[in-house]
Amino acid sequence: MTDAVPMLEGKGLARSAGALAGLKVIDLTRVLGGPYCTMILSDHGAEVIKLEPPQGDEVRDWGPPFHEGDASYYIGVNRNKKSVGLDLAKPEGRQVLLRLLEEADVLVENFKPGSMEKWGLGYEEVLSKRFPRLIHCRVSGFGATGPYGGAPGYDAIVQAVVGLMSTNGTATSGPTRLGTPMVDIGTGLYSAIAILMAVHERTTSGLGQYLDMTLHDCGMALMHPHAANHLLNGKRPVATGNPHPNLAPYSTFRTKTCEIFMGVGNDGAFRKLCEFLGMPEVAADPRFATNGARVVNREALTELLDARFADEDGFELCPRMLAAGLPAGPVTHVDQALAAPHTAHREMVTELGWFRGLGTPIKMSRTPGGTRREPPRFGQDTAAVLAQHGFSEDEIQKLRDGGVVMEARRR
């Protein structure tokens, strides 16, 4: 059973039931990696029931800014979901979860490895036998085994451990954390892919499976091309700042009005760039004729280009370069990027009522996804979800009275 497609007014809204309509997901995740994964699924029609502990998802407090007590950090990754307050520390709470799983396709959780097993909810021992079609996706920092097995993982910690920080920044800045939590977000993306793979495989086998997703593994998987370079040449990659380690020119350049970022992917494109800039002789120079030579002679090439761009208006130059088929863009701030005309054209800022957030980047022709519900307040769907799953009013009230389910956060 899925929600009907609402006729809503706003931007970046879902105009179909979605490609994942009919998929039911029980979401026990908190913070970012897991919620990002389940938001992707919910954007495209999956019914996502977010079961929150009595204290709620802690990122509800990660502000300011706030909207009616909920922080932007929570608001940004929890649209389209239903929220149920549930205490899994109580045996009755675990029984509620098991009843919800009777109709579920997917369970996503990011408890410390061993927690579900301690509660008698382990996949191998219990869930796979009771719900053979269930896909259980666990998101953890490092997995349950190995030298770091069971250790807690945060985005920045894993950025440090997998080498990502060492390749970010400059030679003088030292290792630098990426400004966006790319490991958490990447883990959410990989987890959504893994779930959809398992759903597809289930159409043949009829069986679910356990998905062991870790921040560590996903962070390592993001280390291209630095890992590939090292595995081929044995040299330790170093931070290069804005320039690309394998391409030149591919960096920021200063104009009289702003910095721009320009990228050249092959020798033909470099010759085209030089013609556009009125300096064809540079493309014929043996120091710059091939990408390999340009990487070796990067500093000399950068001096020539900086001098050429010094009197240009970067905001005017970049559209001309793009029109000529030369990738370039002005370096803008977040507020400028969100307000840009192309952002609006692509519906990458979505709006529904008070809610504003980043839109879905997945554009589908027949079954477009998007926003269909505002991010839920804590526990706002508790009674409705339980009733949908066969709980009587008396049962729901008894669970409320026993502190098993709740509609307000426990402070």
Nearest to 255 by CA among 311, 216, 333, 205: 311
Q: Strand, coil or helix: what is 164?
A: coil
Cβ 406 vs Cβ 85: under 8 Å: yes
Task: Name the amino acid, one letter, at 346.
Answer: R
**Catalytic residue (choose from 43, 105, 155, 184):** 184
Question: What does residue 405 show for φ and ψ, rounded to 5 degrees?
Answer: -120, 155
Cα separation, 347 vs 12, whole angstroms: 5
The tally of CA atoms less than 13 A away on the side-chain side of residue 172 is: 1
Q: Strand, coil or helix: what is 37?
A: helix
Position of tokens 């706002």?
380
The tally of CA atoms less than 13 A away on the side-chain side of residue 161 is: 21
Task: Name the amino acid, one letter, at 231.
Answer: L
Cα separation, 360 vs 346, whole angstroms: 10
Tokens at 285, concatenated: 């120079």
Q: Strand, coil or helix: what is 188?
A: helix
Position of tokens 């909810």?
121
Cα separation, 410 vs 30, whole angstroms: 16
Active site residue 184: yes
Q: Transcribe 239-287 into DSSP letters.
A: --SSS-SS-SSEEEEE-SS-EEEEE--SHHHHHHHHHHTT-HHHHHSTT
Q: Is the dihedral of CA 162, 164, 166, 167 positive or negative?
A: positive
- Which positions are catalytic? 184
